[in-house]
Amino acid sequence: MKEHNLLPLLPLYAVMPAAGIGKRMASDIPKQYLKINGQSIIEYSLQPLLEHAQIKQVVVALSADDVWFRELPVAQHSKITIVIGGKERCDTVLNALKTISEPARVLVHDAARPCLTNDDLSQLICAQTNKQGAILASQVRDTMKRGDSDGLIVDNVERELLYHALTPQLFMLSELQQALSGALANNVCITDEASAMQWAGHGVKLVMGRSDNIKVTRPEDLQLATLFLTQQQRITTTH
């Protein structure tokens, strides 16, 4: 019998760190505010979180000088709370977590990851329990190479058990706070929330998600995201 049937799950919150500027996009505005078919990337990223019945609140962490988010219609949504982020992603997520005043589960989703589907989100929520965290992930399909500082191949990497870490990533609030705080205090390089949890000794479950759940990082990613959103019928094309 699954733990879901034995213990009531804690309330579920979502956090969206949106304080970055996305230098690799070479844009005048942060990448999460670039438009796809007239709607900003961050609005697409927020949509499944705001629509999901189990998510109680969505905390959006912004840069102190952000002048874009509050101009979006979604900023007035009753589920959204705004907080100021920090210097690094860890600081930003921690600032958002501090606004949650009850024992809870919390998922963290990238602001520039607009193609998350409702099905993948529900699958992640169902897989996570009060005892174990979980992240969406997709299996590596290509041949993997390890290079050196001169750009030369030095090794082949077995891809069978390699995965792309996606978001959302879902954990217990108290455990995530402790892991992020501890990693910061020890100057540990943290690339995502799961890496902080692993450093703190917690097991993290891989939940197979769709490979089209891409993060918009470079200009060419906008075209891919547009294609995927169209295929998901979240935007429609007109002729």
97-151 pLDDT per residue, tens: 999 999 999 999 999 999 999 999 999 999 987 778 999 999 988 887 888 888 8
Overall average pLDDT of the 35-62 stretch: 97
Q: Is residue 233 part of a domain?
A: no
Check residue 110 and report its DSSP letter. -
Q: How far apart are CA 186 and CA 226, in angstroms?
A: 40
Answer yes or no: are the C-beta atoms of 36 and 129 closer than 8 Å: no
Q: Is residue 189 part of a domain?
A: yes
Q: Is residue 234 part of a domain?
A: no
Exposed e or buried b per residue across 134-171, where buried means at least 16 C-beta atoms within 10 angstroms of its C-beta: bbbbbebeeeeeeeeeeeeeeeeeeeeeeeebbbbbbb
Overall average pLDDT of the 150-157 stretch: 86
pLDDT (0 to 100) of residue 237: 53
Contacts for 232 with CB less than 8 Å, ≥ 6 apart: 115, 117, 212
Q: Is residue 239 part of a domain?
A: no
Q: Is residue 106 part of a domain?
A: yes
Q: Is residue 46 part of a domain?
A: yes
For the chain, strand residue ranges (E) read 12-18, 35-36, 39-40, 55-62, 80-84, 105-108, 133-139, 144-147, 153-157, 163-172, 204-208
- For the domain that residue 186 is a member of, what is the CATH number? 3.90.550.10
Q: Is residue 44 part of a domain?
A: yes
Q: What is the overall mean pLDDT for the chain?
A: 91
Q: Please give the structure tokens belonging to residue 142.
A: 């290509």
State pLDDT tens for residues 159-178.
Answer: 778 899 999 999 999 999 99
Q: How far apart are CA 49 and CA 113, in angstroms?
A: 12
Q: How far apart are CA 96 and CA 112, in angstroms?
A: 17
Query: Residues of the chain with pLDDT > 90: what percent?
Result: 75
**Confidence check: pLDDT of 63 > 70:** yes
**Confidence check: pLDDT of 24 > 70:** no
**Confidence check: pLDDT of 2 > 50:** no
pLDDT (0 to 100) of residue 152: 87
Overall average pLDDT of the 27-54 stretch: 94
Check residue 195 and report its DSSP letter. H
Q: What's the number of domains the chain is made of?
A: 1
Q: Is residue 206 part of a domain?
A: yes
At residue 28, what is the residue type?
A: D
Q: How far apart are CA 110 and CA 216, in angstroms?
A: 10
pLDDT (0 to 100) of residue 22: 59
The model's confidence at residue 183, banded by pLDDT at 50, 70 and 90, is: very high
Which residues span the domain enclosing 192? 10-228
pTM across the whole model: 0.90
Q: Is the dihedral of CA 115, 100, 105, 77 positive or negative?
A: negative
pLDDT (0 to 100) of residue 26: 57
Q: What are phi and psi of 45, to 5 degrees?
A: -65, -35
